[in-house]
Structure 1
Amino acid sequence: MRRKRRDLNLLRENKDLLSDLPDDLLDVIICKLDMKDAVKTGSLSKRWRHVWTNYVVDLKFNHVNILGLKSKPRKKKLAGLDTVFVDRVDNIMKLRCEGNREKINSFCLQFPLGKRFSPLIDKWLNFAIGNRVETIDLDLSSNLPSSARYNFSLLRTVSNYEKKTLKHLRLTNCNFRGWSSSPKFGLLISLQLETVIISSLQLAKVLESCPLLEDLTLDTCCNLTELTINATLLKHLSLTNCCKLKEIDVIRAQNLVYIQLAGVLINSLQLRRLIECCPLLEELTLKRCHRLTYLRIGDSNNCTLLKHLSLTRCSRLMEIDVIRAPNLISLKLKGVSISNLQLTNIIESCPLLEELTLLFCNLLTYLRILESNNSRLKSLHLDRCSNLKEIDICANLLHTLEYNGISQWFSFKKSPRLVNVFIGKDIHLLNGDPLRINTLARDIPSIENLIFAPHHSLEFFHINDPEPVFYMRRLVLNVVMRNRKEELLWVKSILNDFPILETLELNFMIKSRKEMNEKATFDRCRNKRITKLEVNGFEGNQHQVDLLEFLLENLVGLRILAIGPCRKTYISFNSWVYGKANDKGKKWFEDRSEWLRTIISPLVHLEFLRIES
């Protein structure tokens, strides 16, 4: 009994302590919580009942913070969950209405909801707009037919209030209602519509009401047939999969700096007029614009300010003419029928070009950047240009090369600063021989950081030179576990033949299929220079354990060991993705991870990498 009384007294004292906290500290506490946990603080004491309403100004409702789900529920599992979701959101909104704080910065609703919840959604929006909301984000993603979707009528809703505060509006998977313009859109800066049923006339009325609009994004708005742009301050325009949009009329767009067109039926003449109306245009991205037959940027009288040009799978585009683009910094061509001469002319017309990406450009047979061009090229990405037979590049500033899916290998000795190299997994040389590391070291003598993605890493280390010397500081390899003895052989080669290597990263790709009865043993080969070892895709089978023990025994200068069960796949030099760890790998780290601490030096920092992808 005495213990229970003591516990009750202690509980009362703790409640009193919570109630006596200063406002500044309350602000710090609430701001560090997500909205779901912030709402729960209302049950701590009377004073805390409405505390969260004074500090939570960003209302975000989704499957995570309302239902505790890791992913959005699928259609089959949605039945009943939508009602639970709506009830919980409505309860939170009622509590928010009782609070003293009026201002709401943002209202975000992300859950598959249809037309039958319209009264509640309208009520929440009215409350948010009445409290001077600046951002509205409605993502009602669902597979409902258009007749069952939520009907959004911002024109009507906003006109109920004198205050105009809305600056950002994003709508996904709903129908737009309203036909008249409204001065209440006066502060709107960005408008993003995705899979929204809206007509050309409706959109025109909305745009008339947005004199401050800077960012317009339209994605899969399939009812649009024409678009008139008369926006003095518009800076960013993105049109994607608007499959019926055939006419884009630009009246004023003098501040437009970014244009992206994807899956739009715009022809070459319309595009040229669009570009001519945008004197400040810096970035142009065109994807799957199949009505384009030619592209001309700049003319004999005007220089363009364009800095970034990206063309992807414009199937009928046969002529690319960049007459005067002295400011072009990056050029990306993917699945484009560009000839050798056209590419040469572009390179010669763009003295500031720093980044060149060529993917699936199958008409190209050679790539030449001569010393006379005084090239400023810094990054070159070549991928699956199947007919490329000659590469002659003299670029003193080139520092990064990404090379994949090309049947020949070329020398890059004329690029003395080339230090970063990514070799993709699809390397199949014509003579059938694998690309070997001594070939790389010979043809790129300045290489320091190498990511080698093919799965035949053992063949990569069959070195013919009697005394090879490699000056790499970082080496990333995909490791195919097949034969324990061979694996230890090439690891020994790394430890002996890379005198200044500092970072070694091994990404296990395939688990071993057969175990060996006897453990392979080798003489020690101490290495003091490698300070970081990263191992991904570690499942804990005997092959991998032997390899890890061998490395830890010989890397006497090691200071960091980073290890995890998820497979890591490099897409480019600076981009990678993690795969999902299998059950065997997860279990090993749950059961044996502490074993690692017993076999490494106290000087080594042990870092466990991600377990879930």
Structure 2
Amino acid sequence: MTIKEIKFVRVAAGSNRSIGLWGSGDNCTSNSRKHAYGGRTNMGLRQKAGRTSATKDYLIELPDGILSEIISRLTLKEAVRTSILSKSWRSIWTCHSHLLFDSVNILGNRIYSKSISCCQSESDRQLQRHHFVEKVDHLMHQRQRGLKIDSLAIRFHLGQEFAPHISEWIQCAFGKGVENIDVDLSEWSSFKIDSVPVDELERYIVPCSLLAASNKRCTLKHLQLAFCSLFSVPSSGSLASLISIKLQDVNINDQQLENFLLICSSLEKMSLHACNNLVKLKFSYPKVRLKILSIRNCFRLESIELGAHNLTTFEYTGELTTFSFKHAPRLAEVYLSFTGQNRQDGVNSALTRFAHDIPHLQTLNLVSVLAMKTLKLPNKVVNFTNVQAFILTVFPFHDEDKFDWIIYILKAFPLLCSFQLNLFSPSYIRKSNILPRHLPECPHMHLTKLEINGFCGSPHEIELLKYLLDNLIELGELVINPCQKVFNGFNSWDFEEASNSHNFRQEVIEWFHKFVPPTIQLHTL
């Protein structure tokens, strides 16, 4: 429902016509219309005034449940604008339980425009910051009259200069039983710019004493912080209700994070992204219920010790570091994407050492950001005895590839049931001078589902697929997709059209139907 639709209801409610929410029914006859138009010139000013004053404001008679339903269907910006519809509606927007304060809702779309933001000086941006804070102050003052706040999101480039205001907004939300808080004070949250130098702001320091107040029942379940600092942790107080936390580009060190986790006894999901003050991470707290841990691009990280007994999922993106999985008996799903100069060693470790380090591993999701032919896999295969699902992303997948790695995988994962292969072949297609590869037979007796994404019908892709079809004895389902599949974290995926996907032509599909046995269920997307 929009503001225009609400205005439509209001006008209809004040008339003598029978009108619905989405349409009208005019009960006037042609004679009554004629009388209405004919008598217009005879109506005096006094009569007009009498009719106007007698018009009843039917909006005030709507039940509270309907009012709340109407407001909940609006954006925050639209909800605030309902105050112009009726005197009784001046504060009705305060029942809106989801508060999103960003440049679009507070300052308008023009501030979010890249072309305009690029031309703004730092003094102009500072002026916008003051306008933003002033308007949010006004809205939060009004919102104190309302009931529960379910979520509060602050997404604007603000620094420690505005700390009293930001803390007051958060405190107000806590007073209203907030469950979700998202504070993103990064530059890109409000000013969309490309390589334009800006003054570095002193980061807002999140008052942990405010988050973990000891004299109030904690209601916060989900917390996201970006571009701020999280320093002191109160000796008393608790965040026992907190279930998930995401820290992105947050100033916090090892000891501060450890102290913070000690007051989060119900925490199940944690994401650490670009927190570059972290060096040696330890998750060895018996009282912490942590089940899912994601660490991305924390570039100073040297070691990770996982001692969370309930941990089931671990995702890591970054340079090769020292891992310890000795006290993670339930760890069953791992995602690994190594960057930097040692990424080859990282892939080698994942395909060898992790078989012993994570004995209960069931799902391995591995990204190889290098040519697979450069891998130095051992001649003696190390078996992953419990892995049933393996996801391998190969970037790039060159036509010079020798396919030694696929033979190793078929041997190293004897109980594998599902194999997903995400290929990122070079955009150019050239006639390969590589002679047909003479690969040894390597029959696999358990794999039943094969999914290949980024398949465009290049000769080396077809040769790889043919080899798999010849060796996957129990294969029952084959999924082929020319689009590239990209992992976003927490079992979330995106599909992107490959630059050479036009090569996925009819003759390639005909090849599938010719060489894929009828006993295999084929899906081409």
Q: By how many angstroms is 1:435 displaced?
A: 3.1
TM-score normalized with structure 1 length: 0.62
Return the offset for 1:588.
3.0
Structure 1 equivalent of residue 21 of structure 2: 132
The letter of the residue matching 1:294 is V
Question: In 1, distance between residues paired with 2:178 and 2:76?
Answer: 24
**In the alignment, which of 567, 572, 575 is matched to residue 484 of structure 2?**
567
Please say if residues 100 and 152 of structure 2, whose CA atoms lie closer than 8 Å, have aligned partners that are also in contact.
Answer: no
Seen in structure 2, the aligned counterparts of structure 1 residues 602 and 342 have a Cα distance that, compared at 3 Å, is same
Alpha-carbon distance in 2 for matches of 1:343, 1:308 = 17
Measure the CA separation in 2 of the matches of 1:537 and 1:429: 26
Deviation at 1:186, TM superposition (A): 7.3
Which amino acid letter does the alignment assign opposite residue 552 of structure 1?
L
Q: Quick one: which amino acid aligns to residue 596 of structure 1?
A: F
1:222 to partner: Cα distance: 3.8
- Once the two structures are superposed, what CA deviation does each residue of 1:110-147 show, in whole Å capped at 9, x if it has no partner? xxxxxxxxxx999899789942249xxxxxxxxxxxxx
> In structure 2, how many angstroms separate the alpha carbons of the residues matched to 1:198 and 1:209?
8
Matched, 1:270 2:168: yes
What is the match of residue 208 of structure 1? Answer: 91
TM-aligned CA distance change 1:483 to 1:581, over 3 Å: closer
Residue 447 of structure 1: how far off its partner (Å): 1.6
CA contact (8 A) 1:223 1:244 kept: no
- Counterpart residue number, 2:318: 405
Would you say 1:245 and 2:135 are equivalent positions?
yes
Q: 2:319–2:343: 8 Å Cα contact kept in structure 1?
A: no
Provide the secondary structure at the position in 2 that maps to 1:292.
coil
Does 1:521 pair with 2:451? no
Deviation at 1:292, TM superposition (A): 3.2
| Aligned counterpart for 1:329 among listed residues 212, 236, 243 | 243
Q: 2:293 aligns with which of 380, 384, 409?
A: 380
Contact 1:164 1:186 in 2 (8 A): no
Contact residue 383 and residue 411 of structure 2 kept, 8 A: no
> Whose strand proportion is higher, 1 or 2?
1
Query: Is the 1:405–1:428 contact (alpha carbons within 8 Å) kept by the matching residues of 2?
Result: yes
1:313 maps to which of 223, 227, 237: 227
Q: What secondary structure does 1:341 align onto?
A: helix
Describe how 1:500-515 pairs up with structure 2 within 5 A. Answer: 500-511=415-426, 515=432
**Deviations 1:569-611 (CA, angstroms, capped at 9, x unpaired):** 11224012111144x53453433313212212221110112xx
Instruction: Say if 1:132 and 1:163, in contact at 8 Å, map to a contact too.
Output: no
The answer as to whether partners of 1:298 and 1:323 remain within 8 angstroms in 2 is yes
| Contact 1:537–1:564, Cα closer than 8 Å, also in 2 | yes
Q: Is the 8 A contact 2:320 2:342 kept in 1?
A: yes
Q: Does the CA contact (< 8 Å) of 1:189 and 1:215 recur in 2?
A: no
Q: 1:204 to 1:407 in 2, by over 3 A?
A: farther
Q: 1:392 to 1:605 in 2, by over 3 A?
A: same
1:403 and 1:513, CA in 2 relative to 1: closer, same or farther beyond 3 A?
A: farther
Does residue 1:494 correspond to 2:437, yes or no? no
**Cα deviation digits, residues 334-356 of structure 1 (max 9, x gap):** 11101222211111111111111
What is the SS of the residue equivalent to 2:245?
Answer: strand
- Distance in 1, matches of 2:94 and 2:79, equals 23
Is 2:305 the counterpart of 1:389? no
CA distance 1:334–1:565, change in 2 (3 Å): same
Instruction: Report whether the alignment pairs 1:221 with 2:105.
Output: yes
For residue 194 of structure 2, what is the aligned residue in structure 1?
A: none
1:223/1:421 CA distance change after superposition, 3 Å:
closer
Query: What corresponds to 1:597 in structure 2?
Result: 513
Structure 2: distance between partners of 1:336 and 1:444: 30
Deviation for aligned residue 1:497: 2.4
- Structure 2: give runs of 5+ residues left out of the alignment: 24-51, 109-130, 187-200
Q: Using the alignment, how far apart are the partners of 1:197 and 1:305 within structure 2?
A: 25
Partners of 1:519 and 1:165 in 2: CA distance? 81
Residue 150 of structure 2 aligns with which residue?
A: 257
State the one-letter code of the partner of 2:318.
G
What SS does the corresponding residue of 2:261 show, helix, strand or coil?
helix
Q: Relative contact order, CA 8 A, sep 6+: which one is greater?
A: 2
Q: Percent identity?
A: 26
Q: Does 1:606 align with 2:519?
A: no
CA distance in 2, matches of 1:522, 1:272: 63
**Residue type of the alignment partner of 1:390:** S
Count of aligned pairs: 435
Aligned to 1:362: 276
CA gap of 1:203–1:312, structure 2 versus 1, over 3 A, is farther
SS at structure 2 position matched to 1:221: helix
Q: Distance in 2 between matches of 1:570 and 1:457?
A: 19
What root-mean-square deviation, in Å, do the aligned CA atoms of Structure 1 and Structure 2 show? Answer: 4.0
Change (3 A) 1:554 1:165: farther
- Match of residue 378 from structure 2: 464
